[in-house]
């Protein structure tokens, strides 16, 4: 087996091993199902309620991606604004840090008061929780322009807009795409938090319902589906990152 | 009047009790002259370059460039640093063309006559032996090749003045000596004015018409040495007694400064 094949197989084997250990531990120690169900019981629940799970999961996926899309547009714009000048950086950075420190769980009830129960609070929570890394990364990419290059550009009489478009933005793209991977998984956290607290649809709502009726294997089925969606989205954006900013990987691949 | 006049210039960084980097420095540079600045580390050489380019303004005294007092970033200048800072997402050729895309003087003409400017850029790349690498990305170039491209980028807008801050310091000895030849060739072809900051005394004597020795911080010029050797200078010449004597003379001057 070549090293490349080993690399490709490793994550699958590690995941399978995780499920195996989990299964064995539950059986050996006789853990009751309402505390920690075995993975086989969780998968059984997943197939038993397959339609309901898929219906709610696709709703969550949709909500998450809408919130995430808003976060991308907003995060990119704000990141450019923050990174573009020392003044906006000084002005906005503390606000951003402060805002990021607020637990988004605390915001959901407010959103529900404003927008009612449903998709909107979940979209907004997904957005609020995921835009921060995008802003920080884009701003960092723009603000960390090499001082030597800045001197070269200034002495050419380059306009700030040109510097931003020709150097700042392209330079921040690897940071931007790297942040998307993180942000999209955070967006799932946001939408599911919101659905759990105040939803009438979605995988978070389903898990809430299942746990209040002590169908713990179904809760775990929900968790597994969430994890799979998270990994899937991460993989999609990791792929996009490689495609878009291959130059940043210096032909290591 | 000289092309560049630095007259009783002082610069203090960071307010009244900040670092006094340069004090009462006076220096005149003629058009078409190749000047080297040498001196101990931290003595204010880079600061002097920045004041000539207008990227830093003196706290006292004045800098004149081509008869005008420097009051802000000057445009007809090419700058290259030790760090080549090529843009990694652009090819070598596109990196060299960057100044034309953003410079006040060239942007319009670049859009109209792109082909002509590309031809000019390729001419420069050919001079430094890089034309066949024009479609390569910077990471595919060696350090010496990146520095050649950096020189081309500094010269593409045909500046009258080239400011070089230790451009070859990060290169190995062989590559460095190769690039002395490249730079000398460019200088002889185009006859711009050069200020080169370097720590390498052989480099300064090989390349410059005048070597100025800068004192410990706060920097002043304490010795100016004309180098009358004929051009083109060759690497063989750097081992001849006349050349070696000048290097020793400069070395003694710097040891004296460091000991004082
Ligand atoms: N932007 C800055 N802010 C504050 N102090 C600075 C700044 N740039 C340089 N200095 C200080 O000014 C002094 C002269 O710096 P400069 O970079 O001109 O020296 P140099 O002769 O180029 O040194 P080297 O040979 O090591 O490059 C140093 O003491 C340095 O710490
Ligand atoms: Mg320096």
User: Does residue A118 fall inside a structural domain?
Assistant: yes
Cβ-Cβ contacts under 8 Å between A and B: the total is 66
* ipTM summary value: 0.85
Nearest residue (CA) to ligand 1, atom 25: B41
Could you tell me which residues are beta bridge partners of residue B29? B4
- Domain ranges in chain B are 31-56+66-76+160-260, 88-158
Could you tell me which residues are beta bridge partners of residue B12? B20
Residue A251 reports pLDDT greater than 60: no
Closest C-alpha to B125, from B133, B136, B115, B117: B133
> Which one of the ligands is nearest to B14 CA?
1
CB B79 to CB A155 under 8 A?
Answer: yes
How many whole angstroms separate alpha carbon B176 and alpha carbon A116?
70
> Residue B48 Cα, ligand 2 centroid: separation in angstroms?
9
User: Does residue A219 fall inside a structural domain?
Assistant: yes
User: Does residue A177 fall inside a structural domain?
Assistant: yes
State which CATH number among 3.30.565.10, 2.60.40.10, 3.40.50.300, 2.60.120.680 fits the domain covering B31-56+66-76+160-260: 3.40.50.300
A81 by Cβ neighbours in 10 Å (0-12 / 13-18 / 19+) ranks as middle
Site to probe by mutation for ligand 1, drawn from B46, B83, B163, B257 as the one with most ligand atoms within 8 Å of Cβ, is: B46
The Cα-based distances of B232 to B36, B158, B220 in angstroms read: 17, 22, 30
CB B53 to CB A151 under 8 A?
Answer: yes
User: Does residue A253 fall inside a structural domain?
Assistant: no
CATH of the domain at A103: 1.10.3720.10
pLDDT attached to residue A250: 66
The total of other beta-carbon atoms located within 10 Å of residue A154's CB is 19
Tokens of B67: 């008869």
pLDDT attached to residue B180: 95
User: CB within 8 A of A168, min separation 6: which ones?
Assistant: A80, A83, A84, A141, A142, A145
User: Does residue A28 fall inside a structural domain?
Assistant: no
B-chain residues near A153 (CB < 8 A): 102
Which atom of ligand 1 is the closest one to the Cα of B47?
Answer: 18
Q: pLDDT for A164-176, tens place per residue?
A: 999 999 999 999 9
Site to probe by mutation for ligand 1, drawn from B42, B53, B258 as the one with most ligand atoms within 8 Å of Cβ, is: B42
Mean of per-residue pLDDT scores for chain B: 93
Number of domains present in the structure of chain A: 1
pLDDT attached to residue A245: 81
Residue A130 reports pLDDT greater than 50: yes
pTM (2 d.p.) = 0.83
How many whole angstroms separate alpha carbon B141 and alpha carbon B130?
10
């Amino acid at each position: 087996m070549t090293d490349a094949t080993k690399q490709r197989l490793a994550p699958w084997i590690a995941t399978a091993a995780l499920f195996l250990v989990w299964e064995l531990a539950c059986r050996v120690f006789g853990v009751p199902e309402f505390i920690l169900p075995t993975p086989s019981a969780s998968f059984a629940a997943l197939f038993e309620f397959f339609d309901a799970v898929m219906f709610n999961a696709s709703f969550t996926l949709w909500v998450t991606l809408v919130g995430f899309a808003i976060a991308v547009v907003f995060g990119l714009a704000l990141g450019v604004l923050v990174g573009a000048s020392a003044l906006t950086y000084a002005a906005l950075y503390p606000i951003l840090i402060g805002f990021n420190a607020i637990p988004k769980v605390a915001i959901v009830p407010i959103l529900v008061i404003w927008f009612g129960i449903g998709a909107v609070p979940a979209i907004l929570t997904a957005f609020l929780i995921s835009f921060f890394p995008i802003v920080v990364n884009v701003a960092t990419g723009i603000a960390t322009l090499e001082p030597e290059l800045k001197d070269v550009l200034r002495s050419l009489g380059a306009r700030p807009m040109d510097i931003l478009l020709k150097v700042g933005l392209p330079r921040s793209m690897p940071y931007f795409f790297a942040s998307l991977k993180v942000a999209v998984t955070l967006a799932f956290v946001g939408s599911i938090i919101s659905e759990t607290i105040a939803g009438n649809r979605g995988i978070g709502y389903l898990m809430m319902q299942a746990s209040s009726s002590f169908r713990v294997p179904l809760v775990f089925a929900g968790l597994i589906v969430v994890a799979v969606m998270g990994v899937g989205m991460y993989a999609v954006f990791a792929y996009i990152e490689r495609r878009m900013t291959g130059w940043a990987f210096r032909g290591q691949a | 009047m000289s092309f560049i006049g630095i007259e009783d210039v002082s610069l203090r960084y960071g307010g009244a009790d900040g670092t006094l980097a340069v004090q009462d420095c006076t220096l005149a540079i003629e058009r078409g002259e190749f000047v080297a600045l040498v001196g101990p580390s931290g003595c204010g050489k880079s600061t002097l370059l920045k004041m000539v380019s207008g990227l830093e303004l003196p706290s006292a005294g004045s800098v004149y460039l081509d008869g005008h007092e420097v009051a802000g970033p000057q445009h007809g200048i090419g700058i290259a640093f030790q760090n080549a800072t090529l843009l990694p997402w652009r090819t070598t050729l596109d990196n060299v063309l960057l100044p034309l895309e953003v410079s006040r003087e060239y942007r319009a003409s670049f859009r109209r006559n792109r082909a002509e400017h590309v031809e000019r850029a390729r001419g420069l790349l050919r001079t430094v032996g890089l034309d066949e690498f024009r479609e390569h990305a910077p990471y595919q170039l060696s350090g010496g090749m990146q520095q050649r491209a950096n020189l081309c980028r500094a010269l593409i807008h045909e500046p009258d003045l080239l400011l070089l801050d230790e451009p070859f310091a990060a290169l190995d000895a062989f590559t460095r000596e190769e690039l002395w030849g490249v730079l000398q060739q460019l200088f002889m072809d185009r006859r711009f004015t050069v200020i080169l900051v370097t720590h390498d005394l052989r480099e300064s004597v090989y390349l410059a018409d005048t070597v100025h020795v800068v004192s410990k911080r706060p920097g002043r010029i304490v010795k100016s040495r004309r180098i009358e050797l004929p051009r083109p200078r060759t690497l063989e010449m750097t081992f001849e007694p006349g050349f070696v004597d000048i290097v020793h003379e400069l070395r003694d001057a710097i040891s004296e400064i460091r000991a004082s």
